[in-house]
Chains A and B, each alone.
Chain A
Amino acid sequence: MFYKRSLPLIICFVMGVLAFCQEFVAHPSADAFREEMTTWFRIMGGFAVFIGAYSLLHMHVTRIRQRQQGWGYSAFVFLGAAATIAAGVVEEILKGMGTFEEGKSFSSFDWLYDYIQVPCGATIFSILAFFMASAAFRTFRARNTGAFLLLAAAIIVMFGNVPISEEVGRWLFPNSSGWQMIFPRANAVLMEYPNLAAKRGILIGISLGGISQSLRILLGIERSYLGGGE
């Protein structure tokens, strides 16, 4: 129990206090300590990736084993991962043998990245552009004053941000160069005053919440990071 719960909480507290204090210490030993610790965490960061990978693979293994709906698709995850890892390993071996030249030899690893990962990754969130258009027409409504203000601001921003607003400005006010830029300027003013003020308010609120959460973690009041178990 001591080793499983109390000692980790004590270490957390001690580390936290040390980390807090080194911020206020001018002595070079504080810098040295910071460098040492951040080197540690940088190295440990490399291991953390494997946990994420494992839990993802594990999820798909479970899906296949339990024959959950759409379990066949999980095979594609393994296919993609296996192909990429194989390509990467082959490349490392070739590099070790000296037959692979960076930038000259054909890299199947880069090929998989460029022609599978990049197009899929780049496309998946662009689908939302369609959904937004449909939602804009079907459901985004000025239900109350707040939503009205929101939509009005959104329209100003959406219009002011694209070049066509300058064309429209020129068309509406062919003679006054000040008024021609009215839409981009409206956008800038909206962003730099009311938007800034609100974002700053939110930011300060979140920060205070963040500090109190850090404090709870330090003192062992919040301990969900320890994971389950006793």
Chain B
Amino acid sequence: MKITPEATLRRQEITRRIIYALVALAVITPFIYALPVKFKPMTLSKNLYDKVESLKPGTPVLLALDYEPSSMAELQPMSIAILRHCFRRNLRVIVMTHWNTGVGLCKDVCEKMAAEAGKESGKDFVFLGFKPGYQNLVLNMGENLLGAFDKDFYQKPTEGMPVLEGLRSLKDIPLVINIAAGASIDGLWIPYGRDRFGFDLGAGCTAVMAPDLYPYLQSKQLIGLLGGLRGAADYETLIAKPEAATKGMQAQSLTHVLLIVLLIGANIVYIGRRYYGPKEA
């Protein structure tokens, strides 16, 4: 049997497009017909929530939002939920980012959540913006927080801000939450931050990174982890304010089921052919 490359190609293209259409359908349908989904938050997400819940009002918390638009679908809902929770608990929130392409997203989420909770910049929270340096920036903040950021994002001097009262370095901050795409958690905040300056570190990350972070959870280098959109949905459930991520879980469920069916179906055919079908030349 001789098949021309063109014919194979055309057949492949058709299969490909059918699958694309199926995926699109699986993602769009739940936005039109809502599916019932109920779920229990995962333990790892719960741990982070409990930690934030256990802090006394007025405790400083540093949120490092190290991501950019390419992973915002997963991480922005986390930032929203965590900021909302921190403001609800009246914690002193300090926000920063290591990624200069993420500054706009951080600013957006800070301003929106602060307006929602009626918080004032400089008094209840501060958005420090971006600084280059990666691990050197973390080390620098560990020695002298205000030296590293002597002005906030809005160019206001940080010295004398009520929200930063009594904070000299990272050693004075009991909890840091890092929401990150890329190697920010295991490359920056664990080795250069948590392990040196002794704060508790909670993390939210893209699902791509989540499996790599399990060793740090067992060694207590991380106190909790929100993994991908599911983590965000868990946190939204925990603070009883279901939003984008929780809604997204319907589409996520449907698409995963579709993928699993495709994967299993194709492999059953493959294995069947391999053991029982005609041998390839």
Say if the two chains contact directly (CB < 8 Å). Answer: yes
Seen from chain A, the residues whose Cβ lies within 8 Å of a Cβ on chain B are 31, 34-35, 37-39, 41-42, 45-46, 48-49, 102-103, 110, 113-114, 117-122, 124-126, 129-130, 132-134, 136-138, 140-142, 151, 154-155, 158-159, 161-164, 166-167, 181, 184, 188, 191-192, 195-196, 199-200, 203
Q: Inter-chain contact count A-B, CB under 8 Å?
A: 167
Known: A118-B69, A140-B263, A184-B42. A203 touches B215 (CB 8 A): yes
Label chain B's interface by main secondary structure. Answer: helix
Known: A162-B249, A164-B256. A117 touches B143 (CB 8 A): no
Seen from chain B, the residues whose Cβ lies within 8 Å of a Cβ on chain A are 12, 15-16, 19-20, 22-24, 35-40, 42-43, 68-73, 100-101, 104-105, 108, 111, 131-134, 136-137, 139-140, 143-144, 147-148, 154, 211-212, 214-215, 217-218, 230, 249-250, 252-260, 262-267, 270-271
Give B54 Cβ to nearest chain A Cβ, in Å: 23
**16 chain-A/chain-B pairs, Cβ below 8 angstroms:** A35-B140, A39-B148, A42-B140, A102-B154, A117-B104, A122-B70, A122-B73, A126-B73, A136-B259, A137-B262, A137-B263, A138-B12, A138-B16, A140-B266, A181-B40, A196-B217
Q: Of B42, B101, B134, B260, which is within 8 A of A155 by CB?
A: B260
Is A162 a contact of B253 with CB atoms below 8 Å?
Answer: yes
Give A33 Cβ to nearest chain B Cβ, in Å: 10
Give A121 Cβ to nearest chain B Cβ, in Å: 3
Q: How far is B154's CA from A103's CA once the two chains are assembled, in angstroms?
A: 10
Task: Write the chain B residue with the least CB distance to A147.
Answer: B267
Known: A158-B256, A192-B218. A134 touches B37 (CB 8 A): no
Is B214 a contact of A191 with CB atoms below 8 Å?
Answer: yes
